[in-house]
Amino acid sequence: QTVVTQEPSLSVSPGGTVTLTCALSSGSLSTSYYIGWYQQTPGQAPRALIYRTNSRSSGVPNRFSGSILGSKAALTITGAQADDEADYYCVVYVNNGRVFGGGTKLTVL
């Protein structure tokens, strides 16, 4: 069974930079896994941030960027703002299915 692992929690200071990662249990992630990143605030449906590893969805601020770092996928927030405090999920496409990571709770303080 494919497992996707994210940091359970991270914190960042306002204006700071933070990198969230996404790892695949069965090996290295690459662009062929069509990696996406989503932001979810309490009581709301997720919102698409990044698709296909490094493309920003419509309306997403350019402080959000996606990449591959080593064997993992990464979401970097540069110049964090208070309203970036949320849960973040990566999702990968593998074997004709999709697997969400466990999510990272980001605190801005």
Q: Which of 34, 41, 79, 81 binds other proteins (CB under 8 A)?
A: 34
Least spacing, CB of residue 30 vs other proteins, in Å: 14
Contact between 4 and 73 under an 8 Å Cβ cutoff? The reply is no
Closest-CA residue to 91 (of 13, 33, 9): 33
CB atoms within 10 A of CB 77: 23
Q: Which of 46, 63, 68, 76 binds other proteins (CB under 8 A)?
A: 46
Give me the residues that bind other proteins (CB under 8 A), please: 1, 34, 36, 38, 40, 45-46, 48, 51-52, 55, 57, 87, 89, 91, 93, 96-103
